């Protein structure tokens, strides 16, 4: 535990975490857990060891992510005397200037604050959590791992939205997300990853990514994680005229429209409020069937489009909560695509372990730079 990496992975009302140590071949999980239902009466905190043994289980209200982190930190301190050597933070969006995993410095925090308008639902709570984590763990470096960094390899034809160029220059581009999940799959598959692949990360948030030689060339989510296929509560892609219609007829503010698109649409919109795929699969009513059909049809369309883009698909990978656990959704999403897809596999996403890998590598790099700076004999020239 003397070389532990703490990984923090925050959602809109949850905070997942993992503690990893350096193993002989890869990062090894020591502890993991989550604070769920933050700011709700159903709030809970769960911590368990790598073998699944429950270490802590509490049901209570956690009013914020920083409060949840404080509780987690106290629980971890009781399990382990050593502080982490680094903390890795999953940051959904870093705006146009933060596209690589890196040390969190005052300048990085300033850039994140300046990029709030790119992801107003995600960046403010991420900043708040980083600030609290730095207070709790002041003696170790904190690293930002950006969920859209993997997609910076997309060509301009995929990045450039059909808008006036001035918006492209301002950073209004196709970013893509679930990049840490994609990176973990590339790492897991290793030499078994063929030249042309599609990763279908299906969960409450869903996206599909086309890869050539292990690099992203296109992905379904766009400027924000709201785009692409319809998701649990997010709309996915929409005709811009739909948004204009809603704005004109209902006189919504930008914040109200954002709330609608991210929390009341997708599966919940089709099914009159139900966003959980497992619950929809158990229902037999027309609204539930429509939600399932709309979701799987959209996924199938993207798979077909990426097959056309790459001239075929050597490997289709399903991952994420729905992708890994629902055989029916996988079947419906790939039905009729045998002539386009060479092989279909299910691979568990390991976003948190991927963050630990990045944090470990960034820590080693920063130590090497510090050593080089301190010892003139190690400098080049």
Least Cα distance to 295 among 337, 232, 369 occurs for 232
Least Cα distance to 5 among 36, 30, 25 occurs for 30
Torsional class of 166: left (φ above 0), alpha (ψ -120 to 50), beta (otherwise): alpha
DSSP sequence for 110-176: HHHHHTGGG-TTTHHHHHHHHHHHHHHSTTS-EEEEETTGGGGGS-HHHH--SS-HHHHHTT-S---
Tokens representing 17 are 């975490």
What is the Cα gyration radius of the chain?
A: 21
CA distance 14 to 280: 23
Give every CB contact of residue 43 below 8 A, 6+ residues apart in sequence.
35, 36, 37, 59, 60, 61, 62
CA distance 113 to 126: 10
Three-state DSSP string of 259-284: HHHHHCCHHHHHCCCCCCHHHHHHCC
Q: How far is CA 247 from CA 169, 254, 258, 299, in A?
A: 27, 9, 11, 28
Tokens representing 110 are 């300033």
Catalytic hit among 147, 213, 239, 314: 147
Tokens representing 332 are 């419906």
Burial status of residue 103 (CB atoms within 10 A of its CB: 0-12, 13-18, 19 or more):
middle
Q: Is 147 a residue of the active site?
A: yes
Label residues 21-60 b or e (16+ Cβ within 10 Å = b).
Answer: beeeeebebbbbbbbbbbeeeebbbbbeeeeeeeebeeee
Positions annotated as catalytic residues are 147
């Amino acid at each position: 535990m003397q070389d532990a990496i703490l990984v923090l992975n925050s959602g809109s009302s949850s905070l997942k975490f993992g503690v990893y140590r350096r193993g002989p071949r890869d990062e090894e999980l020591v502890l993991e857990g989550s604070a769920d239902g933050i700011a709700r009466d159903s709030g809970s905190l769960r911590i368990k060891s790598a073998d699944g043994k429950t270490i802590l289980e509490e049901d209570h209200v956690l009013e914020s992510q920083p409060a949840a982190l404080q509780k987690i930190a106290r629980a971890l301190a009781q399990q382990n005397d050593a502080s982490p050597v680094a903390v890795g933070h999953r940051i959904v969006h870093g705006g146009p200037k933060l596209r690589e995993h890196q040390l969190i410095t005052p300048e990085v925090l300033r850039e994140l604050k300046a990029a709030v308008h790119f992801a107003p639902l995600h960046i403010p709570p991420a900043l708040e959590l980083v600030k609290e984590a730095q207070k709790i763990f002041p003696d170790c470096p904190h690293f930002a791992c950006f969920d859209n960094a993997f997609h910076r390899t997309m060509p301009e034809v995929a990045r450039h939205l059909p808008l006036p160029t001035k918006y492209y220059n301002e950073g209004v581009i196709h970013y893509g997300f679930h990049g840490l999940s994609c990176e973990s799959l590339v790492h897991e598959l290793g030499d078994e990853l063929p030249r042309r692949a599609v990763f279908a990360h299906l969960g409450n948030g869903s996206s599909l990514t086309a890869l050539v030689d292990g690099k992203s060339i296109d992905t379904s989510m766009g400027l924000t994680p709201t785009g692409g296929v319809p998701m649990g509560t997010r709309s996915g892609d929409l005709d811009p005229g739909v948004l204009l219609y809603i704005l004109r007829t209902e006189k919504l503010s930008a914040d109200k429209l954002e709330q609608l698109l991210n929390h009341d649409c997708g599966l919940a919109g089709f099914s009159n409020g139900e966003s959980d795929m497992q619950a929809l699969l158990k229902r037999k009513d027309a609204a539930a069937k429509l939600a399932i059909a709309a979701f799987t049809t959209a996924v199938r369309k993207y798979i077909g489009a990426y097959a056309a883009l790459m001239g075929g698909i050597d490997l289709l990978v399903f991952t994420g909560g729905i992708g890994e656990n629902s055989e029916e959704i996988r079947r419906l999403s790939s039905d009729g695509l045998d002539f386009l897809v060479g092989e279909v596999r299910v691979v568990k996403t390991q976003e948190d372990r991927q963050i630990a890998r990045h944090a470990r590598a960034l820590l080693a790099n920063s130590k090497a730079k510090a050593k080089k700076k301190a010892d003139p004999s190690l400098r080049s020239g």
